Structure 1
Amino acid sequence: MSFASLGLYATLVKKLSAIGYTEPYPIQQQAIPAILEGKDVLGIAQTGSGKTASFVLPILQQLQHKTVTKNRFIRALILVPTRELAVQVGEVVSTFAEVMPRKIKSLAIYGGVSINVQMMALQNVEILIATPGRLLDLINLNALNISEIDILTLDEADKMLNMGFKKEMADIFELLPTKRQNLLFSATLGKEINTITEILLHNPVKIQVEEAVQNLDLITQQCYHVTEERKGPLLRYLIMQQQMQQVLVFASSIHRADAIVEKLKAHGLQAAAMHSKKSQGARTDALANFKSGRINVLVATDLASRGIDIQFLPFVINYELPRSPKDYIHRIGRTGRASAAGTAISLVSEEEQHHFSVIQKKMGKKVEIIDAKDLNLLGF
């Protein structure tokens, strides 16, 4: 099955191909046509299953047929539990919005940053990705209105409930129009999810994707305990000392990826970044140069990494840990393919050590721990 067969615009299909998506994930195969038909959807799928694109792509296409409404009246609302997920979903929306015939402005809002900056940025926004608390803050300040939205999406609904957003979600639901399309995605089903489903969804298309099992036996995993300040020197030390000719480095944000590449180049290493803010041509060139060996290091965010498929990739390095064990397995699974051994290295600061313990427990594997404090990183 191809993305073109799902009813997506040719520009979206071309963009998907350019960043390495050739075939839709199971949840995308079922969700995209249903959403394009205007149906409510209940999707049960784990992180890494491709669910974000399964709702972002059809939402962008649906809004092409809508007329632009009054300023600050949102057309599509995507509710998420955390700042990190808001940023991630926002990047996915931006990546595909840039190729749409009618340009659609999107914005991710969340707490912990200036609300005044977000208020100004809300001008002419049609797709809003928001955490519940910050959304209500801005509504109370009359900075936006959700009474005329066409599509409501709850992403990781179970996590929102677990984090105590039940009251905020109820307050938000009261402000929504009666007639709208509803999409609910969750990693698990439970009593509270079933309750929300009954309240929000009308004859939904139900999609449940079984979790894929990743074989990690061919991957040698190592973890270096290192201070945040020494991560950069340690990364360069490992690349040079082990003479890595091809290494994929994962960063948690676009800003971090660019900063890592800048430092690598300053130390004479051939490197490039791959993320959603890069043009299509820049991403294509970076991946081609990496595959051909013209550059040794490719630094990518999780979104961009979905398009990286290299059969014999020897090294993967987590400069920062991903937000979930599933994302960790997806990252390191880029090596150790086609019966070829690979090495996955994680640089773990003191603040990340508990999270890495959780990752190991969920993965069911112990990882070799190396203390980097005695390594001489002078000059790196």
Structure 2
Amino acid sequence: MSFTTLGLSPDLLKVLSDQNFTAPTLIQQTAIPAILNKKDVLGIAKTGSGKTASYVLPLLMNLQKAPKLKNRHVNVLVLVPTRELAGQVKEVFRTFSSGLSVPVKTLAVFGGISINPQMTALQGVNVLVATPGRLLELLDSNAVNLSLIETLVLDEADKMLNLGFKEEVDKIISLLPQNRQNILLSATLSADIRSIHQILLHDPLVIKIEGQEDSIDQINQVAYIVSDDKKGPFLRYLINHHEVQQVLIFASSVHTADAVVNKLRKNNFDAKAIHSKKSQGARKEALYLFKSGKLRILVATDLMGRGIDINQLPFVINYELPRSPKDYIHRIGRTGRAGSIGEAISLVSPDELHHFRVIEKKMGKQVEMIDSERVK
């Protein structure tokens, strides 16, 4: 199937071509025509399945015909759980709107930075991408008005609810007009998602894409048994031995992520950490440097790892195992994308062996296990 069959305008088709988007993903094939027709949509699909473009493209097209609103009123509200996702969604809107005949102004607002510049920037905004807490602060300051919202998008709704934003989301929804389009996107169809979808959506088109992101057939996996005190030196050995030019390393805590980076830098490896304790500026810089290939090693926690999507990332290393098999699959799924072969390496301490066997069982794959003492 081609994007030309989905009802998109020539301007958007040209931008897609310029950005080397050749064929729509499964969720885009179904969601784009429905959103163009202003139907409510519930999309269940994993990260990497093309969910963001599935709503950005049709909403941009609909905005070409939308009435001009009074200042500080916005047409589209996109609620997201993290500042990283807010920045990513904003960039997708800006990229695809670059060639449109009717300009569309998109703004991302989130906490952790001064609210005053965001208040000033709200003038003339068509699409507001916001984390719930910061949006409520802006509403309390009368910096934005939601009474004329035409479309509400809840992106990564499962994560938003898991992070405890339900009360804030409910308050925001109560301020919106009843007559609007609703789009709810989630990686899972949990009980919380079922509950909010029953309240929020009106006769929605339900799109469920099974297992798209979690396909790990393109990933070569290997695990090394190594004691905790030797993980640092062995990690550095692996990076040198495999001549790794770019690698995403996962740690299970902020403390460990910082410790790993400090050791790497002391041994002349170019590395940065990304986690919730870093400032917005530091996180944005680290992501930019890594995605643009200017940073060799990025060490991330699970929450921050969700925002890292690189088509040709060659290596992922689990310095520590995650709590759940699903998180393990999500981690290694950062590599082996867009038809490329990926390499996933796990450093497993003797205490983690049983947990790793559980991961293998849930994954349905047996991973080659090597004693690190026999490698060098």
How does the TM-score come out when normalised to structure 1?
A: 0.67
Structure 2 counterpart of 1:332, from 330, 335, 346: 335
Deviations 1:204-260 (A, max 9, x none): 1111111135234752558999xxxx9xxx79x95x87556xx56669766335546
Partner of 1:274: none
Closer/same/farther in 2, CA of residues 344 and 96 from structure 1, 3 Å limit: same
Deviations 1:322-353 (A, max 9, x none): xx65653443113984xxx6545799xxxxxx
Query: Hey, what's the Cα distance between the residues in 2 that align with 1:71 and 1:318?
Result: 48
Query: Hey, what's the Cα distance between the residues in 1 that align with 2:287 and 2:88?
Result: 14
Q: Are the aligned partners of 2:42 and 2:207 in contact in 1 as well (CA < 8 Å)?
A: yes
Partner of 1:184: 184
Query: Hey, what's the Cα distance between the residues in 1 that align with 2:292 and 2:37?
Result: 45
Deviation of the 1:192 alpha carbon: 3.2
Deviation of the 1:131 alpha carbon: 1.1
Deviation of the 1:367 alpha carbon: 9.3
Query: Hey, what's the Cα distance between the residues in 2 that align with 1:320 and 1:102?
Result: 48
> What SS is found at the alignment partner of 2:334?
helix
The one-letter code of the counterpart of 1:122 is: L
> What SS is found at the alignment partner of 1:331?
coil
> What SS is found at the alignment partner of 2:184?
strand
Matched, 1:215 2:216: yes
Q: Are the aligned partners of 2:27 and 2:51 in contact in 1 as well (CA < 8 Å)?
A: yes
> What SS is found at the alignment partner of 1:334?
coil
Matched, 1:46 2:20: no
Gaps of 5+ in 2: 249-271, 275-282, 297-306, 321-326, 348-355
Deviations 1:172-222 (A, max 9, x none): 111111211111112222443233222221111111111135234752558
Q: Are the aligned partners of 1:249 and 1:319 in contact in 2 as well (CA < 8 Å)?
A: no
Q: Are the aligned partners of 2:219 and 2:344 in contact in 1 as well (CA < 8 Å)?
A: no
The residue correspondences of 1:1-380 to structure 2 (distance < 5 A) are 1-212=1-212, 213-216=214-217, 219-220=220-221, 238=239, 255-256=285-286, 259=289, 302=308, 305-306=310-311, 315-316=314-315, 328-334=331-337, 337=340, 343-344=343-344
Deviations 1:271-292 (A, max 9, x none): xxxxxxxxxxxxxxxxxxxxxx
CA RMSD of aligned residues (A): 4.3
> What SS is found at the alignment partner of 1:129?
strand
Closer/same/farther in 2, CA of residues 335 and 153 from structure 1, 3 Å limit: closer
The one-letter code of the counterpart of 2:334 is: R
The one-letter code of the counterpart of 2:331 is: Y
Deviation of the 1:149 alpha carbon: 0.8
The one-letter code of the counterpart of 2:286 is: R
Query: Hey, what's the Cα distance between the residues in 2 that align with 1:318 and 1:98?
Result: 37
> What SS is found at the alignment partner of 1:78?
strand
Query: Hey, what's the Cα distance between the residues in 2 that align with 1:15 and 1:53?
Result: 12
Closer/same/farther in 2, CA of residues 187 and 257 from structure 1, 3 Å limit: closer
Deviation of the 1:150 alpha carbon: 0.7
Query: Hey, what's the Cα distance between the residues in 1 that align with 2:88 and 2:317?
Result: 17
Q: Are the aligned partners of 1:335 and 1:343 in contact in 2 as well (CA < 8 Å)?
A: no
Query: Hey, what's the Cα distance between the residues in 2 that align with 1:73 and 1:101?
Result: 21
Equivalenced residues, count: 313
Q: Are the aligned partners of 1:336 and 1:342 in contact in 2 as well (CA < 8 Å)?
A: no
Query: Hey, what's the Cα distance between the residues in 1 that align with 2:246 and 2:99?
Result: 27
Q: Are the aligned partners of 1:219 and 1:335 in contact in 2 as well (CA < 8 Å)?
A: no
Query: Hey, what's the Cα distance between the residues in 2 that align with 1:327 and 1:106?
Result: 29
Partner of 1:293: none
Gaps of 5+ in 1: 270-300, 348-356, 372-380
Deviations 1:137-157 (A, max 9, x none): 100100000100111111122
Report the identity percentage: 46
Closer/same/farther in 2, CA of residues 110 and 222 from structure 1, 3 Å limit: farther
Closer/same/farther in 2, CA of residues 336 and 91 from structure 1, 3 Å limit: closer
Q: Are the aligned partners of 2:148 and 2:176 in contact in 1 as well (CA < 8 Å)?
A: yes
Query: Hey, what's the Cα distance between the residues in 2 that align with 1:320 and 1:335?
Result: 25
Query: Hey, what's the Cα distance between the residues in 1 that align with 2:328 and 2:241?
Result: 29
Q: Are the aligned partners of 2:74 and 2:127 in contact in 1 as well (CA < 8 Å)?
A: yes
Closer/same/farther in 2, CA of residues 34 and 260 from structure 1, 3 Å limit: closer
Query: Hey, what's the Cα distance between the residues in 1 that align with 2:143 and 2:84?
Result: 23
> What SS is found at the alignment partner of 2:38?
coil
